[in-house]
Chains A and B, each alone.
Chain A
Amino acid sequence: MRQLRFATIGSVDDGKSTLIGRLLYDSKSIFEDQLEHVEAVSKRRGDEYVDLSLLTDGLRAEREQGITIDVAHRYFATPARSFVIMDCPGHVQYTRNMVTGASTADLAIILIDARHGVVEQTRRHSILTSLLGVPHLVVCVNKMDLVDYSEERFKEIREDFENFAARLNLHDVTFLPISALKGDNVVDRTPDLSWFEGPTLLHHLENVYTASDDNRIDVRFPVQYVIRPRTTEHHDYRGYAGTVAGGVLRVGDEIVVLPSGLTSTITGIDSADGPITEAVPGAAITILLADDLSVTRGDMICRPHNRPRVVQDHEAMLCWLDSNAQLQTNKLYTLKHTTRSTRAKVSEVRYVLDISELHRKEPTGPLAMNDIARVVIHTAEPLLRDDYDHNRVTGSFILVDESTGATAAAGMLLPPRE
């Protein structure tokens, strides 16, 4: 089975970190010294039970406040599969860190406190998951122990979520009742949830089929760095280093370099292990061309009859992340897209997403932290871009505030407006 990268998301205190702790504990993936440490800290604080969220909530401030602030990365494997976990914060103030964790996930586990049901932050995280294109979602109705393991309550929340999510771009959604604290239906089945006929969470995670979301059709190779040895032995070597963002490149392929439009042929592909004949998405390689073209970082190599769009005006969904500054339309930001950095301004905010109703509303003021909006962006140089739906690498970008260096926003490119 392919490795699974999953993120835990959902509102603050709904039990994400406890769930990760439980999953690691019950699958016997905790190292002895780590367990001793959380036992000792729990005991010192006078907790009634061992607080498994301490396994991932490792920062001083997190422990003081009892919340997660930033994403924790954990790696574990069962005999069936290996996993990368990104335990994200639920607090609205740290949504930017949740987005960080979810942006590379194959699957998101969204937790809902069975007592509170779907709340605003559940909706915000679901919308972000859908925008980021996370392919699979597991909705865990947690803290079932606090609602007497009520099947009715589980069904009620499921219905609520389904009604709301029907308007989102979420494909594969699975619902599970659990108690992270007591360990019900996380790794083991327990009598309290005997009415539930579906799988345990771990069983589901081990078996969910994730096709790689790599685009293997459309060749996209953003040039990252030019390798020129300047030695007598490799006097004429000029290689274009980068990481394949889409398609399969082969020696002998005819290619075009964008934005110049010059064409050539691939004469060699060097990998870390030496020459290879073809390179798939994700591979970090160096390409050699038949002709001496002027190619630099920020250019893109693709096939002559399958090119990204080369434009300066862009439609995009923008998630504003900066807590210290709001969007200023017409201010210059640095936009980073694949290996290309260019100056950019947001010329128009078309609409802002209303989190609770999923309505499009008129912007009432400048975009601020956690706003999600559809915008029009103008770049000083053209981007060599695809729609985010088509290719996550060539369809995503960030905006950097030049005065502070902060990552102000994350964007996903959309098709042009008709």
Chain B
Amino acid sequence: MRPGITGLEDEAITIIREVAACFERPVILFSGGKDSVVMLHVAVRAFAPAKLPFAIMHVDTGHNFPEVIEFRDRCLAGFGLDLTVASVQAAIDAGKVADAPSRNPLQTVALLEAIAENKFDAVLGGGRRDEERARAKERVFSHRDTFGQWDPKNQRPELWNIYNTSLRPGEHFRVFPISNWTELDVWSYIQMHNIELPSLYFAHRRPVFRRDGMLMAETEFLHAEAGEEVFEEQVRFRTVGDATCTAAVESSAVSIADVVAETSIARVTERGATRADDKISEAGMEDRKRQGYF
């Protein structure tokens, strides 16, 4: 293995090409967030000068920051790639799920339905093992049963870099090419290749309010309640997800280099700093993942 980011990219490319070789209908999940942007860049590089042989899908909660949706479309247009949108709003409108204050868990329904409908057999995600303790346990090629469920107590062994890609009808794999990257690795890669990201990732002033110790953005999707004071602050986002449950952090990092510097001395994990819904339970992510979440 080559050292540093180069070695991590080698590994990711190897995984991505294995997906292209072993599956009929692979899809890349793309949200416009930094991890999926990096994964997409690596994937495009893995097949150059040929076109990326994968479909692209976004599971849209309907509560995304407009800057991110705008960036998502511009970024894909730049690569000449088409997008499939699995819409949580559409699932709600069709009465398949009931709307909830946080639409994060509802994504699972829209995702699994889109996988079944499109007969996707390999779903590539930008999940990283350093993000969260359940992810830290997950395989690179992570098997899902016919209900889309993950069984953390019964994962297939995954030795060396030999990936068991065997599937029975109706099952699929989630594949995580950047499993072994840290938040700092992702930012270093972004710096190395000067990759464009949604503006939310860089310090800007916006109206926010404090909730459960976190800075939530005042948006059309989420409003301060009585007793919560809205004020303007210079912030940036370390993750971008559903606007109702993704918090901002105070920051003055306006450039990629600033963010790399900030990330290398961070004392709180990105999820700890920004995800309201993960604070709820001891095994929130594991429970969601068991049901088929990303």
- Taking beta carbons and an 8 Å cutoff, which residues of A are in contact with B? 2-3, 31-34, 37, 41, 55-56, 58-61, 63, 69-75, 84, 96-97, 99-100, 103-104, 212, 214, 224-225, 227-231, 233-234, 237, 241-243, 270, 272, 280-284, 297, 321, 334, 336-337, 339, 392-393, 396-398, 400, 402, 405-407, 410
- Within 8 Å CB of A74, what residues of B? 130, 136
Question: Is there an interface contact between B286 and A60, defined as CB atoms closer than 8 Å?
Answer: yes
Q: List 26 A-B contacts (CB under 8 A).
A: A32-B272, A33-B272, A34-B272, A59-B137, A70-B155, A73-B129, A73-B179, A100-B157, A227-B47, A229-B50, A234-B49, A234-B50, A241-B17, A241-B47, A243-B10, A270-B48, A272-B13, A280-B2, A284-B10, A284-B11, A284-B17, A284-B46, A339-B21, A396-B159, A405-B166, A407-B164
Partner of A230, one of B21, B50, B180: B50
A234-B49, A280-B2, A283-B2 given; A61·B152 CB < 8 A: yes
- Within 8 Å CB of A228, what residues of B? 50
CB under 8 Å from chain A, chain B span 157-195: 157-162, 164, 166-168, 171, 179-180, 182
A407 to B14, CA, bound (A): 20
- Taking beta carbons and an 8 Å cutoff, which residues of B are in contact with A? 1-4, 7, 9-11, 13-14, 17-18, 20-21, 42, 45-51, 129-130, 132-134, 136-137, 143, 152-153, 155-162, 164, 166-168, 171, 179-180, 182, 266-269, 272-273, 282-283, 286-287
- Within 8 Å CB of B50, what residues of A? 227-231, 234, 237
- Within 8 Å CB of B132, what residues of A? 58
A233 to B49, CA, bound (A): 9
Question: Is there an interface contact between B282 and A41, defined as CB atoms closer than 8 Å?
Answer: yes
Please name the residue on chain A nearest to B264 by beta carbon: A77
- Within 8 Å CB of B1, what residues of A? 212, 214, 281-282
- Within 8 Å CB of B2, what residues of A? 280, 282-283
Question: Is there an interface contact between B153 and A61, defined as CB atoms closer than 8 Å?
Answer: yes
- Within 8 Å CB of B133, what residues of A? 55-56, 58-59, 72
- Which has the most chain A C-beta neighbours within 10 Å: B9, B14, B160, B182? B160
What's the nearest-Cβ distance from chain A to residue B81, in Å?
15
- Which has the most chain B C-beta neighbours within 10 Å: A56, A272, A336, A402? A272
A71 to B134, CA, bound (A): 11
- Within 8 Å CB of B136, what residues of A? 56, 58, 72-74
Question: Is there an interface contact between A224 and B162, defined as CB atoms closer than 8 Å?
Answer: no
A237 to B45, CA, bound (A): 16
- Within 8 Å CB of B143, what residues of A? 405
What's the nearest-Cβ distance from chain B to residue A171, in Å?
20
Please name the residue on chain B nearest to A36 by beta carbon: B272
- Within 8 Å CB of B282, what residues of A? 41, 60, 63
Partner of B49, one of A72, A229, A283: A229
- Within 8 Å CB of A100, what residues of B? 157-159
A311 to B169, CA, bound (A): 33
What's the nearest-Cβ distance from chain A to residue B172, in Å?
12
- Within 8 Å CB of B130, what residues of A? 73-75
- Within 8 Å CB of A63, what residues of B? 282-283
Question: Is there an interface contact between B269 and A33, defined as CB atoms closer than 8 Å?
Answer: yes
A156 to B132, CA, bound (A): 41
A70 to B154, CA, bound (A): 9
A321 to B164, CA, bound (A): 13
A334 to B165, CA, bound (A): 11
Partner of B180, one of A55, A59, A75, A321: A75
- Within 8 Å CB of B159, what residues of A? 99-100, 103, 396, 398, 407, 410
A334 to B159, CA, bound (A): 16
Question: Is there an interface contact between B21 and A224, defined as CB atoms closer than 8 Å?
Answer: yes
A234 to B10, CA, bound (A): 24
- Which has the most chain B C-beta neighbours within 10 Å: A60, A99, A339, A393? A60
What's the nearest-Cβ distance from chain A to residue B104, in Å?
18
- Within 8 Å CB of B9, what residues of A? 272, 284
Question: Is there an interface contact between A104 and B160, defined as CB atoms closer than 8 Å?
Answer: yes
A407 to B287, CA, bound (A): 25
Question: Is there an interface contact between A97 and B134, defined as CB atoms closer than 8 Å?
Answer: no
A63 to B152, CA, bound (A): 13
- Which has the most chain A C-beta neighbours within 10 Å: B20, B42, B129, B136? B136
- Within 8 Å CB of B160, what residues of A? 103-104, 392-393, 396
What's the nearest-Cβ distance from chain B to residue A99, in Å?
6
A402 to B157, CA, bound (A): 15
Please name the residue on chain B nearest to A338 by beta carbon: B162
